[in-house]
Amino acid sequence: MTATATPAPPGSKTTAPTTTTPPTDDGPGALRSLARHRGRLIGVCAVLALVAGWVLLGAGNWPAPLSVDLSGPLERTSDWIIDNRDGHPLFLYFFGHVSNIVVLSVRAVYLVLLALGWAGVTAAAALLAWRAAGVRLALTSLAAFSVCGLLGMWVPAMQTLALMVVAVAASVLLGGLLGLAAGLSDRMHRILRPVLDTMQVLPAFAYLLPVVLVFGIGVPAAVLATVVYAAPPMARLTALGLRDADAGVVEAATSLGATGRQLLLTARLPLARKELLLGVNQSIMMALGMAVIASVIGAGGLGDRVYQALASVDVGAALAAGVPIVLLAITLDRVTAAAGERIGEAPADRSGLRWALAALVTAAVAVGARLLDLLSWPDAWTVDIAGPVNGTVDWMTAHLYSGVPLVGGTADWAGHFTTWVLGPLRDGLQWLPWWTVLLTVGVLALLIGTWRTAATAVLAMAAIGVLGVWDPALDTLSQVLAAVTVTLLTGFALGVAAARSTRLGRALRPVLDVFQTMPQFVYLIPVVALFGVGRAPAAAAAVVYALPAVVRITAQGVRAVDPAALESARSMGATGWQQLLQVQLPLARPALLLAVNQGVVLVLAVVVIGGLVGGGALGYDAVFGLAQGDLATGLVAGAAIVCLGLMLDRVTQPTGRRDPTGKGA
Amino acid sequence: MARTTRTARNTGSAALAAAAALALTALTGCGAADMTRQASPYADAKGSRTVTLSVQSWVGAQANVAVAQYLLEHELGYRVDTVQIDEVPAWDALSQGRVDAILEDWGHPEQEKRYIDDKATIERGGDLGVTGHIGWFVPTYFAEEHPDVTDWKNLDKYAAEFRTAESGGKGQLLDGSPSYVTNDKALVKNLDLDYQVVFAGSEAAQITQIRQFAKEKKPFLSYWYKPQWLFEKVPMTEVELPAYEEGCDADPRKVACAYPHTPLQKFLNARFASGGGDAAAFLKKFRWTTEMQNDVALMIAEEKLTPREAAARWAKQNEATWRAWLPS
């Protein structure tokens, strides 16, 4: 859930082709008036339904007869799995082997990394980056790996890396195969799309529990949960690449008598190289985002260090483990993105020679380090950042929590936010008769999308009622709405500012990178220290997490506005504000809508984290289920979060628009 | 010289593991996999004997593990892996052999029946020597000003003082991590108190909040437990609930009594208990006092020593105690 997969870390990704069908309202006049007409029609129907509903259904919460209690069957399932896990053939001959293969592969990679020693690994990483992406990134990667060592996190970093290698390889394989199927067959494409859509809004916590139940705590469960999380972007991009292959080239190849397989191998796959590599890039980022979440189920490595530091309320130690995650993420992202951009360029002279040189240097360094007895990072070379960081956090919380003259403290703000915004919003939503909620969802989805998206949204919302978690779900919804509002207000402002000032844009980029990749567990304690326990810190954590994506998409959208339009406005004497309000923002509308959609999905992704700081509702239930091994509570809460995600996604999704780069993006 | 042979073996075992992975892929579907022997891939990485211990999220549990780890590594020559898991999943992991021991368990009768009596995959490891107790606490500075707050019957009188934005119009009873044993919702209802249970969601959040309250000398009411290092920093006084009697907490919905005093237990994976050699013998003998655990916990949580440093410092000062745990 620390997903870094938002469209934009480094520029290349936002330009990823989208399967956009034009929004309905930018057609010629006739279409436009039809669209307006449609809106009015929907409005009239809604009012009629409102009156009818009031007469027929009355007020009240989700009616009990319409809900199903799944706790009995779920408990029986859970008991069956635990009782049969050691003896049933399904486990002995299938899951057991899957588990063993995962363990052995991770172990193999880990042992290779240990055998290379820190010097060998660092050299290999730097040289690989040099060959794939150039000297600057080689230096970045050298620095990143050195910092892992300097912070005393070498061994955990290698454990995380080993797990990542295996998980990413599996994701790329699985996603690639699915994408291949969807890219070659229209029917598969139709079948897979809703599946991938759903996977995209699944919060990672929701499927930790079932995976743990089958595989038990530990690396196999962590790897499989990561694959579920990281495979969809690969599948999506592979399918996209294959489908968008230049028709002319394909036809030429066909006319030359190429068979289906030849066509695939010699024309379509090579043409899709960029998308494929972007898919790998996205899989890596998603997998790293999962590193900390997976620590909750015993994945070990850096995530586990973050998680353990939490137990002793030690922000400094959590940060020391969080920083390597951020650095690994940024490095891997930049290197794979740069490698993607280089694809298609003519290979440089003596490229083979340079590769050989890189391999040779790596080998020499690894052997040298072994001879010098420098396999494990020397303890003397570590820097302790925990002390100063904790000092800073203590100072902040001591001085900002309350009693700041004039503005009050952060605790007071949090209190006001809870009392005046979150409270009324929650009570209001819970007071609404259940059918008006469904109606509102349907109308909103219709206004922005199609009949099909509206049906999905309404059904998803109804499913929440059927699952019997209507009230907590609305509580969660109120928190999401409040956090999204704050995110969008701040994000639009920052995004517009960044688009208009290059300097600000450049200054913001590393900050956004860090916020996007820093595991949320690291800032759990600071948000509680600043805002107290409750729903307000949960909202704060969500805002921090979702803000970078909104800022990026907004800035990108505003920047991409046709310069000619801007120029003509300027020549007519429009002021800066007029240019912004009347030209830039309206023209950037699709991007702003995408930002809204992403803000909503990302905020929802942090709901579970909110459960860890007193957000209560579904987030708490999901955590509770995992902590108590209670499938009935955990799975139902997880399913409700998924439904909420689907509903919010559909309600905020302009027709047909879909970002293919992956969930969270 | 010894060093080079060892590293050579590393590379060898890496190649071996890779080959084994391939072989196993080929074999999938032929042999049966043993789901009760699921070691961590990071174990035994340097060709040494490894023990895997489960750590729970509270610092007391970290203290047990830190000291056990230190002694296992320095006195008995083991490598120790630790995994942080919640209590119930830890039982699961123990039965599968993913961890070898739980050093501090607060009582899970359902799991004990399933794994010890029915499946025999887990064995009892004896008392830890520490007695645990859960209760409702108010800060001592508040209890001294209002001595009658320590009787639950007077709690309603103070509800307004314990109110927060999160608890609405009622008093706030701060609860902690979802993994902890709690009857608080039922208690508030059955004792008919004017309180709202607010779940902090994690112990870290709860501690942070309590310390913020204490810094400002604000009144608060919280679910908390002993032994716990935080008492040294924020002195708290227990609120008397209706006395605990055997079985009064049998029906989770009807509970209207205090929490019991629980002698904390150790549990070992059954296979490890019989075949774990010195490490298993040592862990069975490991037994210390509440004060000792608090010393170490405080070093970790308050002085921000790493668990390893804290354990080293404690071991230096208490050699007589731990000598007795070592297998003769």
pLDDT band for position A11 (cuts 50, 70, 90) = very low
Report chain B residues whose CB lies below 8 A from the CB of A387. Answer: 304
Specify the DSSP element, H or E, that contains A53.
Answer: helix A29-56
Which range among A86-90, A344-348, A349-353, A625-629 shows the weakest confidence by mean pLDDT? A344-348
Q: Is A257 left (phi over 0), alpha (psi -120 to 50) or beta?
A: left
Residues A91 and B34: their CA atoms lie apart, in Å, by: 9
B28 vs A78, higher pLDDT: A78
Quick check: A614 and B166 CB within 8 A?
A: yes
Quick check: A313 and B21 CB within 8 A?
A: no
pLDDT band for position A288 (cuts 50, 70, 90) = confident
Total length of chain B: 328
Report chain A residues whose CB lies below 8 A from the CB of B182. Answer: none
Q: Is A421 on the interface with B (CB under 8 A)?
A: no
| Predicted local distance difference test score (pLDDT) of residue B47 | 56
**What tokens does A94 get?**
């299938």
pLDDT (tens digit per residue) in A419-460: 888 888 888 888 888 888 888 888 888 888 788 888 888 999
Residues B253 and A445: their CA atoms lie apart, in Å, by: 41
Q: Is B318 on the interface with A (CB under 8 A)?
A: no
pLDDT (tens digit per residue) in A523-563: 778 888 888 888 888 898 889 888 988 998 888 888 888 78
Residues A417 and A603: their CA atoms lie apart, in Å, by: 17
Whether residue A313 contacts residue B208, with contact meaning beta carbons closer than 8 Å, is answered with yes
Contacts of B170 (CB under 8 A, 6+ apart): B159, B163, B194, B195, B196
- Give ∠ CA B221-B226-B229 in degrees, rounded to 5: 90
Q: Which amino acid is at A609?
A: I
> Pick from B10, B59, B208: which is nearest to A114 by CB?
B10
Quick check: A536 and B165 CB within 8 A?
A: yes
| Percent of chain A that is helix, strand, coil (3-state, to 5) | 80, 0, 20
Number of Cα atoms under 13 Å in the Cβ half of residue A359: 6
Contacts of A355 (CB under 8 A, 6+ apart): A131
Whether residue A12 contacts residue A341, with contact meaning beta carbons closer than 8 Å, is answered with yes
pLDDT (tens digit per residue) in A172-225: 999 999 988 888 888 888 888 878 877 766 777 777 888 888 888 888 888 998
| Predicted local distance difference test score (pLDDT) of residue B124 | 93
pLDDT (tens digit per residue) in A555-597: 888 888 878 888 888 888 888 788 888 888 888 888 888 888 8
Report chain A residues whose CB lies below 8 A from the CB of B177. Answer: 627
Which range among A308-312, B59-63, B219-223, B273-277 shows the weakest confidence by mean pLDDT? A308-312
Residues B265 and B261: their CA atoms lie apart, in Å, by: 12
**What tokens does A157 get?**
């970093």
Q: Is A262 on the interface with B (CB under 8 A)?
A: no
The residue among A27, A30, A12, A40 whose CA lies nearest residue A446 is A40
Residues B272 and A500: their CA atoms lie apart, in Å, by: 65
**What tokens does A15 get?**
């330009």
Shortest Cα–Cα distance, A414 to chain B (Å): 8
Mutation test of the interface with chain A: which of B121, B304, B305, B308, choosing the one with the most A Cβ atoms within 10 A? Answer: B304
Which range among A78-82, A396-400, B161-165, B228-232 shows the weakest confidence by mean pLDDT? A396-400
Q: Is the pLDDT of residue A662 over 60?
A: no
Shortest Cα–Cα distance, B68 to chain A (Å): 17
Residue B46: Cβ within 10 Å count: 15
CA quadruple A359, A364, A365, A369: dihedral positive or negative?
positive
End-to-end CA distance of chain B: 32
Shortest Cα–Cα distance, B328 to chain A (Å): 33
| Predicted local distance difference test score (pLDDT) of residue A221 | 87
Specify the DSSP element, H or E, that contains A49.
Answer: helix A29-56
CA quadruple A549, A550, A554, A555: dihedral positive or negative?
negative
**What tokens does A272 get?**
């899709």
Highest mean pLDDT among A138-142, A451-455, A648-652: A138-142
| Predicted local distance difference test score (pLDDT) of residue B43 | 65
| Predicted local distance difference test score (pLDDT) of residue B6 | 42
Quick check: A300 and B7 CB within 8 A?
A: no
Summarize the confidence of residues B270-281 as an average pLDDT. 88
Q: Is A220 on the interface with B (CB under 8 A)?
A: yes
Q: Is A637 left (phi over 0), alpha (psi -120 to 50) or beta?
A: alpha
pLDDT (tens digit per residue) in A481-509: 999 999 999 999 999 888 888 888 888 88
- Give ∠ CA A607-A610-A613 in degrees, rounded to 5: 165
User: Is B162 strand, coil or helix?
Assistant: coil
Residues B325 and A417: their CA atoms lie apart, in Å, by: 54
Instruction: Give contacts of A 110-129 with B, CB under 8 A.
Output: 110-112, 114-115
| DSSP per residue, B226-279 | ES-THHHHS-EEEEBPSPP-TTTTSSTTT--SPPPEEEEEEEEEHHHHHH-HHH
Whether residue B56 contacts residue B64, with contact meaning beta carbons closer than 8 Å, is answered with no
Q: Is the pLDDT of residue A1 over 70?
A: no
Burial class (CB in 10 A: 0-12, 13-18, 19+), B323: exposed
Q: How far is CA B208 from CA A321, A336, B91, B212, B232, in A?
A: 20, 40, 28, 6, 15
Residues A289 and A545: their CA atoms lie apart, in Å, by: 12
Backbone φ, ψ for residue B222 (5° rounding)? -140, 145
Mutation test of the interface with chain B: which of A107, A419, A522, choosing the one with the most B Cβ atoms within 10 A? Answer: A107
Residue A351: Cβ within 10 Å count: 11
Q: Is the pLDDT of residue A164 over 80?
A: yes
pLDDT (tens digit per residue) in B6-63: 444 444 444 555 555 555 554 444 566 665 565 667 766 555 578 889 888 788 888 9
Q: Is the pLDDT of residue A464 over 60?
A: yes
Mutation test of the interface with chain A: which of B6, B84, B203, choosing the one with the most A Cβ atoms within 10 A? Answer: B84
The answer, yes or no, to whether ipTM is higher than 0.85 is: no
CA B285 from chain centre, in angstroms, equals: 18
pLDDT (tens digit per residue) in A303-327: 888 887 877 778 888 888 888 888 8
Which range among A333-337, A402-406, B56-60, B253-257 shows the weakest confidence by mean pLDDT? A402-406
The residue among B323, B131, B264, B205 whose CA lies nearest residue A610 is B205
Contacts of B241 (CB under 8 A, 6+ apart): B135, B136, B152, B187, B191, B257, B258, B259
Total length of chain A: 665
The residue among B114, B106, B180 whose CA lies nearest residue A81 is B114
Residues A200 and A357: their CA atoms lie apart, in Å, by: 42
A84 vs B237, higher pLDDT: B237
Burial class (CB in 10 A: 0-12, 13-18, 19+), A523: buried
3-state secondary structure A71-133: HHHHHHHHHHHHHHCCCCHHHHHHHHHHHHHHHHHHHHHHHHHHHHHHHHHHHHHHHHHHHHH
Whether residue A465 contacts residue A57, with contact meaning beta carbons closer than 8 Å, is answered with no
User: Is A501 strand, coil or helix?
Assistant: coil
Instruction: Give contacts of B 102-121 with A, CB under 8 A.
Output: 114, 119, 121
Q: Give the position of tokens 């038990």.
A: A216
Whether residue A206 contacts residue A622, with contact meaning beta carbons closer than 8 Å, is answered with yes
Residues A228 and A220: their CA atoms lie apart, in Å, by: 12
Report chain B residues whose CB lies below 8 A from the CB of A616. Answer: 198-199, 201
Q: Which amino acid is at B127?
A: D
Helices (H), A202-350: 204-215, 219-243, 247-255, 260-262, 269-271, 273-293, 301-311, 315-342
Residues A623 and A629: their CA atoms lie apart, in Å, by: 10
**What tokens does B308 get?**
């390893």
Which DSSP letter does residue A313 get? T
Q: Is the pLDDT of residue A467 over 60?
A: yes
Residues A68 and A464: their CA atoms lie apart, in Å, by: 10
| Predicted local distance difference test score (pLDDT) of residue A166 | 92
Strands B221-226 and B122-139, bridge-based pairing: antiparallel
